[in-house]
Amino acid sequence: MCGLEEIRFAAVLLYQPHYQGNMAFAGKYEFECDENYDEFVKKIGLPSDKIELGRNCKVVTEVVQNGNDFTWTQHFPGGRTMSNSFTIGKEADMETMGGKKFKATARMEDGKIVADFPNYHHTAEICGDKLIEISNVCGIVYKRTSKRIA
């Protein structure tokens, strides 16, 4: 969430369950806002040309879910896509936002998808109609909020 609306939204969530079971992630989400982008991407070593391309980028994240199997695709302006497929609890081949390939095991913790990337910790959760992704490296927390569009 971004701004004062977060407080009102949190109050509404107290009276409504925000995690809706195993299929809560399926859908399409469009970038709405982020926090600490520049600090985070510099810390993880993204080159300046990729940093500039990603700033305020209207990424559309598409999540296809079949039980514990996920395909998580990011569609970037200009037609570029990046996709990771994984099964909760099983090691999978993944790719970082910088294009590095690695192996990771995604897990589910308190309704959040959690994965450890090579140099940062990443979580994703659904809050109402928002996809909230939080990445942490050495105390620098990057938060990206996307709104459900489908």
Length of the chain measured in residues: 150
Which helix (H) or strand (E) is 64 found in, with range? strand 60-66
Number of domains in the chain: 1
Q: How many beta carbons lie within 10 A of that of residue 120, not counting itself?
A: 19
Question: Is residue 119 pLDDT above 90, yes or no?
Answer: no
> The domain that contains 22 carries what CATH number?
2.40.128.20
User: With contact defined as beta carbons under 8 Å apart, do 95 and 84 qualify?
Assistant: yes
Per-residue pLDDT tens over the stretch 38-57: 999 999 888 888 888 788 78
User: With contact defined as beta carbons under 8 Å apart, do 74 and 61 qualify?
Assistant: yes
Domain assignment of residue 96, given as a range: 5-148
Per-residue pLDDT tens over the stretch 55-105: 878 999 999 999 999 999 999 888 889 999 999 999 999 988 777 899 999
pLDDT at position 11 is 31
| Alpha helices (runs of H) in 14-139, residue ranges in sequence order | 37-43, 48-54
Asked whether the whole model's pTM tops 0.95, one would answer: no
What string of DSSP letters covers 98-134? TS-EEEEE-EEETTEEEEE-SS-EEEEEEETTEEEEE
Higher pLDDT, 31 or 15: 31
Of the chain, the percentage scoring pLDDT greater than 70 comes to: 85
Burial of residue 113 (CB within 10 Å: 0-12, 13-18, 19+) is buried
